[in-house]
Amino acid sequence: MAREIRDLHEVAGRLLGEAQRSASGRAAETIASGSVQRATVIALTADAEMGEHDSPPAALLQVISGRVRLRTHDENWVLEAGQVVPVPSRRHGLDALEDSAVLLTVALHG
């Protein structure tokens, strides 16, 4: 079975355009999905957010472009393009400090 190679910068750029036209300031596309993990590119315009939500069993957040704040009730991480961080295993949210795109890789089972 052939694997499709995706260009993260192309996907991020296209999704940022969609996010800029969206009332929510957000757009997303799952670029890989299997039985144990899923990878999704999420684009957010400046000041857009993903409200607080529960964590999956395990996840990794990589910033493709822009600058974001990953936050929990008691901690904040400001991340820039090229940086990656494990998502905390508690409720968290994501704020775009400028037009941004991230790659979220999630484990589907604990």
CB 64 within 8 A of CB 41: yes
Sheet-wide strand order for 67-71: 49-53, 92-96, 67-71, 76-80
Q: Nearest to residue 65, comparing CAs of 17, 3, 1?
A: 17
Is 44 a member of any domain? Answer: yes
Check pLDDT > 70 for residue 109.
yes
Look up the CATH number of the domain holding residue 103. 2.60.120.10
Q: Give the residue numbers spanning the domain of 29.
A: 8-107
In a domain, 101, yes or no: yes
Q: Is 92 contained in some domain?
A: yes
Q: What's the pLDDT score for residue 1?
A: 45
In total, how many domains does the chain have? 1
What's the pTM?
A: 0.92
CA distance 75 to 44: 21
- Inside any domain, residue 1: no
In-domain check, residue 14: yes
Number of C-beta neighbours around residue 94 at 10 A: 23
* Residue 63: inside a domain: yes
Task: Provide mean pLDDT across the span 48-57.
Answer: 86
